[in-house]
Amino acid sequence: MTGILSWQDLAIGKELDAMVDRPLTVTDFVRYQGASGDMNPIHHDTEFAKKAGYPGPFAVGMLPAGIMATYVTDRFGTEAVRRFKVQFRELAWPHDVITYRGAVVALREVGGERLADLELAATRPNGEVHLRAWATVVVRLDSQ
């Protein structure tokens, strides 16, 4: 975890510190699938994945999406997020080291709350974008 960002830390165009994750494993997929209840075998059953035309199990997209949400809440707090959208691009695979990045694209005040809009991306080691994401967060006025 890093410190919680406050209003004076932010500016339009500001890039958030990147987070380089540890390599993805099928165990990570299984742990997430158990937590979420999405047991689609394509993410852990090699035979099933091959039968469906893939070289093997690939990442359940909502796992990197959830890690991206953690990336946001580690920087803005667990109660800050008002909107979070992910769009899946290239598949991610076991052993991939995914890098999570984000930047501030808008700052606004609505109904007495200070909001920041973020654009985020999770990339594979070869530079391919695994997912893009957008978040709106409520920002604290002062650092705590």
Partner 1 sequence: MTSGQSGEPFDLVIEAGKVREFARATRSSNPAYRATGGAAPVTFLMSSELWTGPENAPWGDSPPSYERLLHGEQEFNFFGTPPRIGDHLTGITRVDKLYTKEGSRGGTMSFIETVTEYRRQGTDDVVAEVRSTLIVTGKAAS
Report in angstroms how near the CB of residue 15 gets to partner 1 at its nearest. 21
Considering only the stretches 9-17, 52-60, 104-112, 122-130, report the one whose residues sit in contact with partner 1 under the rule CB under 8 A. Answer: 52-60
Binding of partner 1 at residue 93 (CB under 8 A)?
no
Q: Which is nearer to partner 1, 13 or 79 (CB)?
A: 79
- For residue 67, give the DSSP letter: H
β partners of residue 113 = 110
Considering only the stretches 5-13, 63-71, 101-109, 116-124, report the one whose residues sit in contact with partner 1 under the rule CB under 8 A. Answer: 63-71
Which has the closest alpha carbon to 124: 95, 77, 102, 92?
Answer: 92
How is the chain split among helix, strand and coil, in percent rounded to 5?
A: 25, 35, 40
Binding of partner 1 at residue 83 (CB under 8 A)?
yes
Binding of partner 1 at residue 24 (CB under 8 A)?
no
Q: Tokens for 127?
A: 């530079």
CB-based contacts of 51, cutoff 8 Å, min separation 6:
none
Binding of partner 1 at residue 77 (CB under 8 A)?
yes
Binding of partner 1 at residue 28 (CB under 8 A)?
yes
Contact between 139 and 10 under an 8 Å Cβ cutoff? The reply is yes
Binding of partner 1 at residue 108 (CB under 8 A)?
no
Backbone angles phi, psi at 49, to 5 degrees: -65, -40
The site for partner 1 (CB under 8 A) is made up of 1, 21, 28, 31-32, 34-38, 40-42, 51-54, 61-63, 65-67, 69-70, 72-74, 77-79, 81-88, 91
